[in-house]
Amino acid sequence: MLVKVITFGCKVNQFESQAIIEALRRAGHQIAGPRDGVDICIVNTCAVTARAAYEARQAIRRVLRRHPGARIIVTGCYAQTDPWGLMESIDTNICVIGNDQKERLLNPKFSSMDCLEIYVGDILKKKNITPFSLHSPQGRTRAYLKIQDGCSAFCSYCIVPYARGPSRSLPVEEVLEQAKRYEEAGVREIVVTGIHVGFYGRDLEDAVSLVDILDTLTSRFKGCRFRLSSLEPGELTDDIIALAAERENFCPHFHIPLQSGSSKVLKSMGRRYTPEEFMERVNVLRERLPDAAIGTDCMVGYPGEEEADFEMTCEVIKGSPITYLHVFPYSRRPGTRAAGMKETVTKREKERRARALRAIGEEKKVAFYRQFLGTTIEILAERVDRKRGTVQGTSANYLQAVARLKVKAQTPQPNQIVKLVAKSIEDQKIFGEMIS
């Protein structure tokens, strides 16, 4: 059978889609190219915003238009949180598989699943992590290692706990086996990921925490560098910072979501820290790791966010050592606590706040990049453009850089470490000449 897999959303979904593709290939199916016909299409959806769900519906309709005979299997967070709504809005025969039963897609016999079926159970009761594993990652440059799934925090605006269930961790041996497979496949960078990685280990019988698993990974797999995905402010412990400062293969790059600089808004969101605590953590991080990239997320237009609250967010961002910023306008998600709150910020005002905050974020990013002008940067080559004579890649501290080759014979291969002298900043990227 010719199978197409369409993926939306986060790194966890991407990892799971790749594991599904690998299982399909093992079972003798072929992955459809852009011009091929499609017998079965699996759409791995996201539900984090209303827009994500809309985009998934659009993608399904597009596939149905182009391949009227194709069977559609929809999985992921949208499938889990609103299977009946999804089925109704598509109005044709589709099969819906929730995150709680995603392992069905690893079963070679999945193609015999009936259309018009809904395989969605109560994910809040799920106790174990679905055993996805990858043997040959798509590219060798960067691979995701999912060590944890689910979230037990229930922030007021977030649908994720209902889409992914409670926090569940991958046992240590399985984490190490996956890392070993990546190392053997020649992967140079492993992104340690999950839905809420700071919860890692809390549900396991062995007393193990995030810092323990990071310690083991960075000491055992010295040929790979490890990048950590998002971590809540209270979970960025001194131990994790000390480990990152000590281990060369622990990328000095942290993503610590702030969401709001107003204590009132944070409290209403159900976030478990104050702006002052966020600031204390990122300042400690900056002191110990002067060159580290520190990213954050902010939400604007949350119900009840007044102009003064928004201003506080701007002030916290301006005064913090963060180096890049993602801004999200609040989007109401049915089923969450915030969905019952009165929306007080108009769409237009949300957009204005988002624009203003993004501009501050861009300034912070450029100021961070500027510090490295004139210095030598090491990047892991991701894209090599032989015609233009350039190599694009990312440094351990998350600088996006383009190295110009002085002589064509210098051309490196993707997945090689390349050194360049940073000369200029264009389009939020560092440009420079390759020296080795």
Residues in contact with ligand SF4 by the rule CB under 6 A:
151, 153-155, 158, 160-161, 195-196
Minimum CB distance to ligand SF4, residue 169 (Å): 15
Q: Would you say 105 or 151 has its CB closer to ligand SF4?
A: 151
Minimum CB distance to ligand SF4, residue 216 (Å): 25
Q: Would you say 110 or 162 has its CB closer to ligand SF4?
A: 162
Q: Would you say 161 or 361 has its CB closer to ligand SF4?
A: 161
Minimum CB distance to ligand SF4, residue 89 (Å): 24
Minimum CB distance to ligand SF4, residue 196 (Å): 5
Q: Would you say 153 or 314 has its CB closer to ligand SF4?
A: 153
Read off the amino acid at residue 102.
K
Q: Would you say 196 or 364 has its CB closer to ligand SF4?
A: 196
Minimum CB distance to ligand SF4, residue 160 (Å): 4
Q: Which residue, 12, 46, 395, is CA-closest to 197?
A: 12
Minimum CB distance to ligand SF4, residue 422 (Å): 34
Minimum CB distance to ligand SF4, residue 239 (Å): 20
Q: Would you say 153 or 373 has its CB closer to ligand SF4?
A: 153
Q: Would you say 161 or 275 has its CB closer to ligand SF4?
A: 161
Q: Would you say 10 or 357 has its CB closer to ligand SF4?
A: 10
Minimum CB distance to ligand SF4, residue 120 (Å): 20
